[in-house]
Amino acid sequence: MNIILDLLLLLIIIIYSYLESLVKVFIPQRRKSVAGEIVLITGAGHGIGRHTAYEFAKRKSRLVLWDINKHGVEETAAECRKLGAITHVFVVDCSNREEIYDSVNQVKKEVGDVTIVVNNAGTIYPADLLSTKDEEITKTFEVNILGHFWITKALLPAMMQRNHGHIVTVASVCGHGVIPYIIPYCSSKFAAVGFHRALTSEFEALGKTGIKTSCVCPVFVNTGFTKNPSTRLFPVLETNEVARSLIDGILTNKKMIFVPSYLNIFLTLEKFLPERALAAINHVQDIQFEAVVGHKTKMK
């Protein structure tokens, strides 16, 4: 009898959730304030991290910017200060666990407890699997996913104590679908999406509903890491476009942020298509970028 009641309740919740989502399409969602929040952004020396820092600076957050590139992160910090934000800079290698832990301790002493973290630092080595060096595979996982674990573990106790915070995972469309010649990158982004979903579920199980999570999954972004990217079906995004979508998702506590937003529809349809149809779609997309194949750089 209990299982029947539970199933009926589940059905009601599903219907209500769909209706709620439909209403939100037409009614603007309330946006929270991030003024005064201590925001840690990794990979802030360029690209999405830099423009995300600008977005938080405009909203009067207190910024903690991390990057392995001292010159780049200081440039970002200078612009954030012009926008009126108190900004702190740390040169950190997000592939080094001990350096991460030491830097978090330094941030706590000099700035305070971080309330929003944007795990953005990432790396990619476009190449076929046999041309990819072992150390490149290791570095990809150390930066793109293991760093998320170490940073989140170090910052989480203070968030848990207050039941307040926001953990943001910068992933990719490659965390939902695959592209040849970037196998380690795709694998690490699948792990990042899984990390976000599992962490979200754990907070719900622990009753820590005050700690929010968001995961952003853009298509190709013009960051300079991948040379000459192009595709027929989706635009190559600029970093400021992704940052605007990301900040909008954070302010509305959106859990999964696709850029462009219609990417979600495409990924949903993809789950129901047979393999031959998927292969045809990949052919039509004609995704291209420079990659090392057979130890030679080619457009693939």
CA atoms of 68 and 4, how far apart (whole Å): 55
* Rounded-to-10 torsion of CA 152, 198, 176, 180: 60
CA atoms of 145 and 255, how far apart (whole Å): 18
Residue 191 three-state SS:
helix
To the query of whether residue 125 is one of the catalytic residues in this protein, the response is no
Residue 112: φ, ψ to 5°: 130, -170
Who's near 40: CB < 8 A, 6+ residues apart? 64, 66, 107, 114, 116, 117, 118, 151, 155
Written as one letter, the residue type at 300 is: K
Q: Which residue has the tokens 């962490």?
A: 199
96: left (phi over 0), alpha (psi -120 to 50) or beta: beta
Residue 138: φ, ψ to 5°: -60, -45
Task: Give me the sign of the Cα torsion angle 260, 42, 215, 244.
Answer: negative
Structure tokens at 174: 């490659």
* Rounded-to-10 torsion of CA 72, 73, 74, 78: 100
Which one of the listed residues 54, 125, 181, 185 is annotated catalytic? Answer: 185
CA atoms of 31 and 280, how far apart (whole Å): 41
Positions annotated as catalytic residues are 185
